[in-house]
Amino acid sequence: MSESSLDAKPERYIRPPSAESSGTAPGRGRLKGRRILIVGGGQRVFDAATDPIGNGRAMSLLFAREGAHVAVADLNRASAEDTVARIAAEGGRAFAVQADVTQETDVVRMIDEAHRAMGGLDGMVLNIGTFGKTGLDNVSADEWNRIYDVNVRGPMLCCRAALPRFENGGSIVFISSIAALKAGSQMAVYDSSKAALGGLMRNIAHAGARRGIRANLVYPGLVDTPNGREAGAGRPSRGKSHIPFGRQATAWEIAYAVLFFMSDESVYVTAQTLAVDSGLSGL
């Protein structure tokens, strides 16, 4: 055997998408009878002709397939209604709510509408986030505050309004980012705001514990979504060479991780975090 063959690296194995990865697996009744609000259930448009499904829309569709009644909330009503139309086309139950999470009156109204329309509230996903510029000098103090208003204050307002309306034993899931764990994005305002969600989540878990209300957090890695494509515009290497599994995640793969936290399969799990990133944050 030659020395060169001993030094050769094995060809990278890229795990092909499963039925769950591609969003084609059938529902299994894991959320039957649940009433779930997904804040950020629409999605941005990067390239309408080629955009993949986003995290919030994938969660909305998956939860409806699993038997939940879903309230799809978004700043963009048309986008929320598009998600609802897709759910209805599959025979699921959903309705749209327009809300700006930086406005407390909007948040209170959103919670009231969801609670009234579904006859209660068992779950809430906080899929909220906006990006900022890289570095420190490029971000004004006003812009820093605006991003924190969306990424941190918005989830706080949602929890404060929702907790008194929640059924005992409910579940709240925060969507953060591995940018909270690594400085790779170079967006200090985004990274630090997403890191702050961990502290908020643990306090919500503490506040809900006496009523069995669980709060957990998911750190998505590099995900092929419209948001991800926008963040990676001009960076063709994003999502390729340095990802342990050799490809980006799909939004469905994030949705299934959130489904675990929303279902009774995680009934004894609270104040915990899960990175869905092919090991990018740990290897």
Arithmetic mean of pLDDT, 140-144: 96
Q: HSE-up of 20 (CA within 13 Å, CB side)? A: 13
Arithmetic mean of pLDDT, 7-22: 80
Residue 72: its pLDDT value, please?
98
pTM for this model (two decimals): 0.93
Domain edges within the chain: 29-276
Q: Which residues, 6+ apart, have CB-to-CB distance to 65 below 8 Å? A: 26, 27, 90, 92
Structure tokens at 150: 């969306």
Which one of the listed residues 13, 148, 190, 268 is annotated catalytic? 190
Amino acid 134 reads T
Structure tokens at 64: 């409806």
Arithmetic mean of pLDDT, 164-179: 97
| Bridge partners (DSSP) listed for residue 35 | 69
pLDDT digits over 54-69, tens only? 999 999 999 999 999 9
Residue 113: its pLDDT value, please?
98
User: Of 176, 163, 175, which is closest to residue 206 (Cα–Cα)?
Assistant: 163
Arithmetic mean of pLDDT, 211-240: 81
238 — pLDDT class (breaks 50, 70, 90)? low
Structure tokens at 131: 């990006």
Could you tell me the fold of the domain covering 29-276? Rossmann fold (3.40.50)
Percent of the chain with pLDDT over 90: 79
Question: Which range, 191-200, 223-232, 234-243, has the best average confidence (pLDDT)?
Answer: 191-200
Dihedral angle sign, alpha carbons of residues 164, 169, 170, 172: positive
For residue 171, the SS3 value is strand
Alpha helix segments (H runs only) across 104-187: 104-118, 141-148, 154-162
pLDDT digits over 85-139, tens only? 999 999 999 999 999 999 999 999 999 999 999 999 999 999 999 988 999 999 9
Other beta carbons within 10 angstroms of residue 202's beta carbon come to 17
For residue 172, the SS3 value is strand
Mean pLDDT for the chain overall? 92
pLDDT at 248 over 90: yes
Respond yes or no: is residue 219 known to be catalytic: no
